[in-house]
Amino acid sequence: MDKPTHLIEFEMTLIGRHLNFFGPRQRAAGRLDRSAYTMLSRLSSQGPMSIGQLSEAFGLDTSTVNRQTAALIKSGLAERIPDPDGGIARKFRITDHGSRRLEHDRSEAISALDRIMADWEPEDVAAFARYLERFNTDIESRSPTPWKRPADVRPPAGP
């Protein structure tokens, strides 16, 4: 590994492996799976979206998005509504039940992260959050549909 990007690639592979917020034990405990959590997060921050918009936002084919949204509807986490802007395509909106489930699971994930980083200096946690945000926004700058970032998820300014 002669470049820092080699180490970043390796560590990102491990992040995916270690993030167990969406693993089998969590699903058995009634938590959302990764695709539901991600889609509900997007609908929560973005507002109602059509199949086409979701497909573009996630870089997935429409059949995959159809399956995922059907599962959300079946579990009462999302609903189909007419386009609030008067367009032809129907859109998907997170339900109150979906919002409660998402917030519960998000709170659990944040608690897990708090435990993992309990021995970190607060400045290090804030710096890590800023670097992750920078990394993601740089990736998203190459995407036609970046995620909106609500003010309540931004870390406090640090050194």
Which residue blocks in 2-121 are alpha helix, DSSP H? 4-18, 24-28, 34-46, 51-58, 62-74, 96-116
Domain boundaries, given as residue ranges, for the chain: 32-116
Amino acid identity, position 136:
N
The pLDDT value recorded for residue 154 is 52
Which residues in the chain land under pLDDT 70? 1, 17-29, 150-159
The pLDDT value recorded for residue 86 is 82
Q: Which run of H or E residues covers position 80?
A: strand 78-81
Calpha distance 8→138 (Å, rounded)? 15
Among the listed residues 75, 62, 63, 71, the one whose alpha carbon sits nearest the alpha carbon of residue 35: 71
Query: Does the pTM of the predicted model rise above 0.85?
Result: no
Per CATH, the number for 32-116 is 1.10.10.10
The pLDDT value recorded for residue 120 is 97
The pLDDT value recorded for residue 123 is 96
Calpha distance 105→32 (Å, rounded)? 7
The pLDDT value recorded for residue 26 is 59
